[in-house]
């Protein structure tokens, strides 16, 4: 949690720890944020909405907005964190130089399909669930049961369709 990155005695960022855990750009951003003078408990928030709660609907809305204004995909290239810039994606013959390139190839191949919009929405949900499971493992040490992950995927997809 965030409080683990703050030196308890000085109430300032533990610069060495932040620099060890994050890449240079992220560490610079984190270290530029002021720490709380009064303290408080950590909270998970979704800063895109006033109530701070993430829902599939708000996440999709933000993704659409970012896509429309050209911001989606600008930060990263879809490469692994190995820093060598090697191609990491090779699924069903869609080898690309980065994640965006693979998506473009998938889009070109399936854009004329009868239910292409639904197909792309489902692909986005699948990738999102994989990413969430990966983050649970990397950051929290939680290994998700694939069957439960699939059930969550189906639940979130149905919630989105019901809205």
From CA 73, how far away is CA 82, in angstroms rounded?
Answer: 19
Angle among Cα 67, 70, 73 to the nearest 5 degrees reads 70
95/70 same-domain check: yes
For residue 151, what are the domain limits? 56-162
105-161 pLDDT, tens digit per residue, is 777 777 788 888 888 888 888 888 888 888 888 888 888 888 888 888 888 888 888
Q: How many domains does the chain have?
A: 2
36-72 pLDDT, tens digit per residue, is 777 667 677 777 777 778 888 888 888 888 777 777 6
72/6 same-domain check: no
pLDDT at residue 75 is higher than 90 = no
DSSP 97: S
Is residue 51 a part of any domain in this protein? no
Q: How far is CA 57 from the centre of its chain?
A: 15
Q: How far is CA 27 from CA 9, 15, 23, 103, in A?
A: 21, 8, 6, 29
């Amino acid at each position: 949690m965030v409080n683990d990155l703050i030196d308890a005695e000085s109430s300032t960022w533990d610069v060495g720890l932040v620099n060890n855990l994050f890449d240079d750009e992220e560490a610079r951003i984190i270290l530029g944020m002021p720490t709380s003078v009064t303290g408080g408990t950590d909270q998970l928030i979704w800063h895109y909405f006033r109530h701070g709660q993430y829902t599939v609907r708000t996440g999709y809305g933000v993704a659409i907005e970012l896509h429309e204004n050209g911001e989606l995909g600008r930060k990263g290239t879809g490469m692994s964190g190995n820093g060598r810039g090697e191609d990491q994606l090779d699924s069903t013959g869609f080898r690309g130089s980065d994640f965006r390139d693979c998506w473009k190839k998938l889009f070109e191949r399936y854009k004329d399909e009868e239910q292409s919009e639904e197909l792309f929405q489902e692909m986005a949900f699948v990738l999102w669930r994989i990413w969430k499971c990966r983050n649970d493992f990397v950051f929290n040490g939680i290994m998700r049961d694939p069957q439960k992950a699939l059930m969550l995927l189906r639940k979130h997809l149905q919630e989105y369709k019901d809205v």
